[in-house]
Amino acid sequence: MLKGRTAVITGGSRGIGAAIAEKLASLGADVAILYAGNTEAAENVCRKCTEQYGVKALAYQCNVADFNAAKETVAKIKGDFGTAHILINNAGITRDGLLAMMREEDFDSVIDTNLKGAFNMIRHCTGLFLRQKAGVIINISSVAGIMGNAGQANYSASKAGLIGLTKSTARELAPKGIRCNAVAPGFIATDMTEDQADSPLLASVPLGRMGTPEEVADGVAYLVCAEYITGEVLRIDGGIAI
Ligand code: NAI
């Protein structure tokens, strides 16, 4: 279904990003994975994509918050794959804390990675998309960006910002054949949420359980292929933000 297309996935070394890389590879896409620090984990995801699905898969260490590093990495991907067709902005961090005590650097680093990182990647991939008059962008937001969450003012602001970025990008680039959508996961079982497995907030999930990275990846794959959907925010949250 995605044979001949190249997908760039930020934060693809583990969790939701790794599941997205594997899902898109299973549909035939070649994958370029960006990761922050764990080379071994990133290489393992690439190996799995290549061995199981026969696609080309390469990993790039890149801090997406750094405008020039993102630019250099997109140039490397162009050199290695020829171009890119799909961009998944999944890299994200949390630095939770109550507002009254939140450190400035914790606000800045979350906005820089989660929101500016997505801008940086869109900014540098759009040239490739415009040249081929086609491209798909999916931003991984969060229900925290829709509902807010006490103790996550920085994170919620970054994820709400991603929704605005998604809608503006969708409007601006639709005439050029480029679609942009967001996915807003709820509680998904990954390293990021391992300390929340017993959270009382889980009781507020109508479907009564955490989601899996694979369930998020299925939604991403749907939006990658849904030719008439742009500017949408797909909640994958067990109903928590109904
Ligand atoms: P995770 O912590 O398991 O993985 C995060 C990934 O992002 C890693 O591959 C890491 O290398 C990468 N990363 C972090 N900072 C980076 C940077 N500056 N440059 C490049 N890569 C960087 O996280 P998880 O749970 O898989 O989350 C993935 C995305 O989904 C995040 O954007 C997160 O905010 C979002 N999300 C997660 C939810 C959950 O319940 N796990 C719920 C809602 C949204």
Q: Where are the domains of the chain?
A: 6-236
Ligand 1 centre distance from Cα of residue 197 (Å): 17
Homologous superfamily, domain 6-236: NAD(P)-binding Rossmann-like Domain (3.40.50.720)
Catalytic status, residue 228: no
Residues 39-97: pLDDT tens digits?
999 999 999 999 999 999 999 999 999 999 999 999 999 999 999 999 999 999 999 99
Going by alpha carbons, the residue nearest to atom 17 of ligand 1 is 63
pLDDT greater than 90 at residue 198: no
pLDDT above 90 for 220:
yes
The structure tokens listed for 39 are: 């080379």
Q: What token pair was written down for 67?
A: 């405008």
What is the rounded CA–CA span in Å between residue 102 and residue 187? 23
pLDDT in tens, 103-120: 999 999 999 999 999 999
**Residue of 35, 53, 155, 228 with catalytic role:** 155
Residue 216 has pLDDT above 90, yes or no: yes
**Closest protein CA for atom 19 of ligand 1:** 63
Q: Coil, helix or strand for 147?
A: helix
Evaluate whether 158 touches 107 at the Cβ level (below 8 Å): no
Test site for ligand 1: of 116, 192, 195, most ligand atoms within 8 A of the Cβ: 192
Q: Which residues, 6+ apart, have CB-to-CB distance to 180 below 8 Å?
A: 122, 136, 137, 138, 139, 166, 169, 170, 173, 230, 231
Among the atoms of ligand 1, which is closest to the Cα of residue 15? 26
Give residue 201's pLDDT.
78
Kindly give the distance from the C-alpha atom of residue 51 to the centroid of ligand 1, in angstroms, as a whole number: 25
Kindly report the backbone phi and psi dihedral angles of residue 233, in degrees, each rounded to the nearest multiple of 5, phi listed first. Answer: -120, 115
* Total residue count of the chain as it appears in this document: 242
What's the whole-number mean pLDDT along residues 165-184?
99
Per-residue pLDDT, 194: 87
pLDDT, averaged across the chain: 97
